[in-house]
Each structure stands twice: as structure tokens, then as C-alpha cells.
Amino acid sequence: MKLTYRANAIRRLVPLAAAVLALGTVAGGAMISAAPASATPSYDCPGGKFCGWDGANGTGDMLFQYNAECFLHDIGNGGVGDRLTSYWNRTGVTVAVYNWTGERWQLLASVPDNARGTLPSSADNKADAVEMCR
């Protein structure tokens, strides 16, 4: 039943999610990867992307890279939910980071363009989605 509520919430936030996801995948809009872990801060993130890592200050495994397309990226269903610790926003827009409560999307952080850092402890390892065009 939780997945039904989650799916309905996504549909309400992004009416054309399926079309945008298909377009983004074909155009290389989303990449989920597990890069080798590193203890040295790197913040290695290509221009135009929002990148996330499971370690502080851009260390550990890179969890994802997303383009600035107007879309709610459900990283929980992508297999990397509740792991985001640090980020670099190079998209040109503000990015919202959300937690799925089981009933609704809860805003954890609002990340302005060109900001990079570590999420506050209240948001660490809780993110289930990131959204551009908020």
C-alpha cells in the first residue's frame, strides 16, 4: 500500500513523469553509479549536473548525477534512497531534496545553484528524491 501512495504522490508532482524519464534516459539525463570509495574530498561533478555522494564532502560512492530537467528524481526507487550525505549542485537552478514519509514528500533541504557541501545531520541519509524546477 505504501508504494501506491508513493506512486500517486509522484504522479501529482510530475504529470509527465513517464515521458520525461524516457526522454532523460535516452538523452543520458540520469546516471546512477557506484564509483570507487574515496576518503579525499573530490566533488568530481560535471557541469550542468546535480551530484550526490554517500560520504561527507564529496567522498565515498557517487550515488547519482542528474541534469537540470524539470523532474522529481525518485532516488529511493532507483536503489540509493536514504544514503545521500553530500552534494554539488551545478544545474543552474535550485534543487529540492525530499524524504518520503510514507504519506507525503517532506522537504529536507533546498540547495541553491553552485552550492556544495554536506547535508545537516537532520537530513543525512534520509533523502528519497531530488527535484529541479521547484
CATH number at residue 79: 2.60.20.10
Annotate 88-126 with DSSP letters as a single string: EE-SSS-EEEEEE-SSSEEEEEEE-TT-EEE--TTTTT-
Per the structure, the count of domains in the chain is 1
* DSSP symbol at 54: S
Q: What is the pTM of this model?
A: 0.70
**Each residue's pLDDT tens digit, 37-73:** 445 567 999 999 999 999 999 999 999 999 988 899 9
How far is C-alpha 59 from the geometric centre of its chain's CA atoms? 16
Q: Which residues neighbour 22 within 8 Å (Cβ) at sequence distance 6 or greater?
A: none
What pLDDT, on the 0 to 100 scale, is given for residue 133? 81
* Domain containing residue 21: 2-131
Cell numbers for 14, please give them: 510530475
